[in-house]
Amino acid sequence: MTEEYDYDLFVIGAGSGGVRAARMAASAGAKVAIAEEKYLGGTCVNVGCVPKKLFVYASHWSEEFVDAAGFGWELGEHRFNWSTLLQRKNKEIERLNGIYQNLLENAGVTIVWGRARLTSANSIEVDGKTITAQKILVTVGATPSVPEFPGSEHVISSDQVFYLPELPKKIVIVGGGYIAVEFAGIMNGLGVETHLIYRGDKLLKNFDQPTAQFAAKEMQKKGVNIHYSTNITKIDRQSDGSLSCSLDNGQSIVAGQVMYATGRRSLTNDLGIEKVGLMTRNNATIETNEQFQTSIPSIYALGDVIGTPELTPVATAQAMVFVNQQYGDGTRTISYDNIPTAIFCQPNIGTVGLSEEALKAKGVAVDVYQSEFKHLKHTLSGSDERVLMRMLVDKGTQKVLGMHMVGPGAGEVIQGFAVAVKAGLTKDQFDATIGIHPTMAEEFVTLRDISYSV
């Protein structure tokens, strides 16, 4: 570091990507500081992946209690205590915040609490104090975006749902993406009458549609009320505190809570972007090159704020590449092809590779291998939940281009198969693999008949 700067690297935003970049850069010998105005760990640790998955676990117990009877268990009366879940969840998040703080401090990173704003190519202001750095890394992430309409002040987002003082008896969730469907499953599983409202005619429009539609039907079987091609025009608070939602089809729904999960926006407002002249896109994400460098050479950005897939593992992978390029041998790169992901709706969706729709758009001739069946567990439980597994294979090369699953633990199953898809394995290589019996996952190596071709 030259003596004219306070730090070699100053990171704005202590989410997953920012924390990883800061501590890895510090471990590589750089003098690093990181600014955060809210909490360590960002969305994922505090109001995203981690607490959401804990809520998913909690909500699934209602089904486990019912299923247990089929295996001979005689259970007494049981009830759910929302405040206990909140307290236990909060304690775990506090523990993780402490771990993040220790990781940073043990690596020698200086934590600066407060809102950081860019003031020049090499300077930042935090609470009136100017700090200089040879390089600045912006990792401020994104936040839920709620549209403005009459009564929109009454709604909550996914951030607030983790801290509701009471669980409503009835909830309306608006949206058709993964956050909306996940919380629909959570609330339904916790015993809340759940209505999912979506303006389109199909949920999860960016995912493989046969997979998404299968999952939607399974959700409906479990009790989620899905209202397609519908939107809320206004919300009125009633004298008893409930919320009356007027719909564009002339109907209305009265509920104790209304949650919007209709998209996220980059947290680039009040960051000094305009002041320093940083180039952004129309959706407020920051433009960068493959080295995460912005239009200002000394300022870099990564994670949700640059418009790449909004996934925690993507941000942390980008952070590792950034540190390698800036403070290592510069050999690492990142590919956004074949990123596996899961939707923790109920039942879960796991997916890697391309969807049937994407392959059609590319003009790739594909053989579709598909299996739908009842999970062995449910032959005794009495549940009518079913599993779907789909494999999309290039007709010419026999390369497996996509794998999609709906069923318990789909994310866990697909994570393993993602290695095979990333490695470019063929259908013959899958066929040559001996399965583990009896498991759901073995179905992916025993698919023999083509269901249809596209």
CA pair distance 94, 87, nearest whole angstrom: 11
**Paired sense of beta strands 32-36 and 110-113, if any:** parallel
Element (H, E) at 33: strand 32-36
Q: Where are the alpha helices (DSSP H) in 328-409?
A: 356-362, 378-381
Q: How far apart are CA 142 and CA 307, in angstroms?
A: 10
Tell the residue number behind the tokens 């939107």, with chain if given. 231
Peptide bond into 51 cis (omega under 30): no
Q: Is 195 considered catalytic here?
A: no
What's the token pair of residue 123? Answer: 């300077």
Contact 80, 56 (CB under 8 A): no
The CA distance from 143 to 305, in Å, is: 10
Asked if 425 and 338 touch (Cβ cutoff 8 Å), the reply is no
Per-residue tokens: 435: 């399965």
Angle subtended by helix axes 209-221 and 178-189, to nearest 10:
20
- What 3-state DSSP class applies to 170? strand
Task: Report how far residue 228's alpha carbon sits from residue 213's, in angstroms, rounded to the nearest whole number.
Answer: 12
**Which residues does the annotation mark as catalytic?**
437
